[in-house]
Amino acid sequence: MNKIVVNGGERLFGEVEIGGSKNAALPLLFAGILTGEVCVFSSLPRVSDVLLALEILRALGARIRFVEGGDVCIDYASMRPALPSVCLTGAIRGSVYLLGAMLGRFGKAKLGGAGGCDFGSRPIDQHLMGFAALGAEEYTENGALCLVASEGLSGADITLKMPSVGATCNILMAACAASGRTVIRNAAAEPHVVALCEFLTKAGAQISGKGTDTLTVYGGKSLHGCQITVIPDMIEAGTYLCAAMAAGGRVTVKNVMPSHLGAVLDVLREMGATLTVGKTQITLRAPTRCHAVTVQTGPYPAFPTDLHPQFAALFALGSRTAGEGQMVERVWQDRFRYTEELVKMGASVKISGERATFFPKMLAPAVVRSPDLRGGAALLLAALSVKGRTEITNAATIGRGYEHLETKFRSLGADIRVFG
């Protein structure tokens, strides 16, 4: 996916089926290493991050089979604790989950680099602190990060400085192999962390506290293969709901878990949306004009940082929004780079530290560059609201998290083309 061309200005109507969660799929795929057996994944999204994760597993010896009906069957038996190619691991942030999974299964792990979107400093110090508490030693070799637990892993009481999803998942995987009890305090409680707990439990792990800020793992048991269905992607669902707000119209997102989107739905209602919430679907009818609000991101169940840019784009739309909107980013540094591209379309924004204030203006079509996955989605939403041709380059970043993007948007009436 090299570029996306949008001829905007049309309202959106219809239904869209939400796929499996990228953020849930990545830790699940790597956690399967712990079993050393066959695992079957249903509703696995075919987005570039997930496909790269499968390539990493294949390069390390996993046998992967795509089953008729859409399931993916992975045999982890022949995997080896080798150093994966930096060309692969450097492309996705989720490759960092190799550390906890490999350490848990083999007592050692190597990683040359973990990529993904660059939001300034995204250190893995909390991951390493947790591994050290479990008994792993850290060193570098030819530029690669290496971990080894020469005397095995033992349970520990670990308190995270902040509820990091990545650190929680990584420590959780290693803890399943550690003898005795491990307690992870100030743990992340995002739905994809709960999904990982459920997968590990199905594989034979003993974990309590799922969905809370304190996880307790009784480790040391051998895990076995199992089947898991990837939870629906709450960020994809939120993006399509935002698209309806940006372009106007009425859109139903299907195959969703509304409880995962509580903070998001609250903001949409505050902005004037009419919502009909069912058991597995949400219908949004956009108001004639949205009300700008102040949104602050934070760990779940607060408003998710991965929907920050999409909502911020709504605040910038003079054709759709009234009043000044503010976005306060409390999770990732340097998340505001998408605003430089919105300005090319005519947006007016003032950034001060972790706060951005948007002054709605009439935007115009332009050639813009997607800076990252969610920032690119924000540019796409802005393009949908503007009459005329907008071209988004570096669109591969958007393909990292949205499956069948062109097909889904066209089914809603959008004039959109994906190239490359």
Residue 278 φ/ψ, nearest 5 degrees? -105, -170
Ramachandran quadrant class, 404 (left: phi over 0; alpha: psi -120 to 50; beta: rest): left
- Strands across the sheet containing 274-277: 12-17, 249-254, 281-285, 274-277
Of the candidates 39, 73, 87, 117, the residue annotated as catalytic is 117
Query: How many angstroms separate the CA atoms of 111 and 81, rounded?
Result: 10
Contact 328, 309 (CB under 8 A): no
CA distance 287 to 49: 35
Distance in angstroms (rounded) separating the CA atoms of residues 189 and 208: 13
Please state the φ and ψ torsions of residue 388, each to the nearest 5 degrees: 115, 180
Pairing mode, if any, of strands 294-296 and 157-159?
Answer: unpaired
Structure-block tokens of residue 151: 């005397």
What is the helix (H) or strand (E) element at residue 174, kind and residue range? helix 165-177
117 is catalytic: yes
Which candidate, 231, 181, 232, places its Cα nearest to that of 205?
181
Residues with a known catalytic role:
117
